[in-house]
Copies of this chain bind each other. A is one copy, B any other.
Amino acid sequence: MSSKQLSVVGIGNAIVDVLSHTDEVFLVQEQLTKGTMALIEADQASELYGKMGPGVEISGGSVANTIAALASLGSQAGFIGKVAHDQLGDVFQHDMKSMGVTYDTPRLEDGPPTARCLILVTPDGQRTMCTFLGASVWIAPTDIRPDLIQSAKIVYLEGYLFDRSRAKQAFRQAAEIGHETGVQVALALSDVFCVERHREEFHDLVVNHVDILFGNENEYKMLFEVESFEDVVYAVQQNCELAVLTRGEHGSVIITPDTVIDIAAEPVGQVVDTTGAGDLYAAGFLHGYTNGRKLDVCGRMGAIAASEALTHMGARPQISLAELLEEKIGHAA
């Protein structure tokens, strides 16, 4: 894989996050399920925003976060995702390009504004998300540049793309290009409700088309319709070549058909905001993987990258992840 120009090309929703501190009562009043992502329309977004406290705007999007973090780790990475010709679109594009990410998807010419995700952060650091997909789902077949995908070792896709048919089409197209040309396909399951909405299609994808799968325990349980952690591991070993399962403060598990590797969570002081922790785990893991590290080292890199996201509001790294890795594990980075 060493002759490739890029390590990973990600395809995902191009979103700007609006983060705000809130309390549990507000989540109950707004009938939101803590720790999950709900899709909302423009008018609902406007109504919820009107009730929210003051916010902080930071570029987001699950796979976009992973790609930005890969760049911070020193990987050459690319992104495909759609924003509109508006100020939040400028913000998103700037934040990707300023990290050195290859990102040239044409903006949406006529249509809804740039996607935004209203993120309510409770005092325990948990985040609850409401996403207005806006321009992000208007990704066109011509945006899925085969040359960009073929220039990468891995194409990384988010389950969230399945929430709109146009984006799902882009997803399938990218996965096909990847497989036809020997590019490995990685998938993030994204959200337990997202898995529930598309369970059968995801199951088919995972069994037949995905080389590396990322998700948390609840997402895997939903995918395989099992109850216990042991049953998850068994199902994964029957169906996946390589899978990563994140478990919050309990660390993570890397599963192959014949091994199960436990990775401890990286200790952090106070958890400020969990937004993006899973996305940054994926970045650390993929950075190690595309550099030929052993799986346990990849997992440790994931845990370290994830720990950075917990220390501040927002998913994008605020320090150089390459320096953090160097400090934590030295030359292995």
Is A53 positioned at the interface, with any CB of B under 8 Å from its CB?
yes
B residues in contact with A98, CB < 8 Å: 50, 52-54
Binds B, one of A87-95, A104-112, A218-226: A87-95
Task: Assess whether B55 is in contact with A56, with CB atoms less than 8 Å apart.
Answer: no
Within the assembled complex, what's the spacing in Å between the Cα atoms of A58 and B99? 20
Does any Cβ of B come within 8 Å of A12's Cβ?
A: no
Chain B residue nearest to A123 in the complex (CB): B319
For the complex, give the distance between the alpha carbons of A58 and B54 in Å: 9
Residues on B with C-beta less than 8 A from A55 are 91, 94-95
Instruction: Take A56-B56, A57-B56, A314-B56 as given contacts and tell me if A49 and B94 are in contact as well, using a CB distance cutoff of 8 Å.
Output: yes
Task: For A50, list chain B residues within 8 Å (CB).
Answer: 94, 98
Q: Which B residues are in CB contact (< 8 Å) with A314?
A: 56
Q: CA separation between A52 and B99, bound complex, in Å? A: 10
Q: Which residues of B contact A59 (CB under 8 A)?
A: 54
Query: A49 to chain B: which residues have CB within 8 Å?
Result: 94
Query: A42-71 CB contact bits vs B (8 Å, 1 = yes)?
Result: 000000011011111111000000001000
On A, residues with C-beta under 8 Å from B are 18, 21, 49-50, 52-59, 68, 86-88, 91, 94-95, 98-99, 113-114, 312-314, 316, 318-319
Can you sample 17 A-B contacts with CB below 8 Å?
A: A18-B91, A50-B98, A52-B98, A54-B94, A54-B95, A54-B98, A54-B99, A55-B94, A56-B56, A56-B57, A56-B58, A57-B58, A86-B86, A86-B87, A87-B87, A87-B114, A313-B318
State how many angstroms separate the Cβ of A149 from the closest Cβ of chain B.
Answer: 24
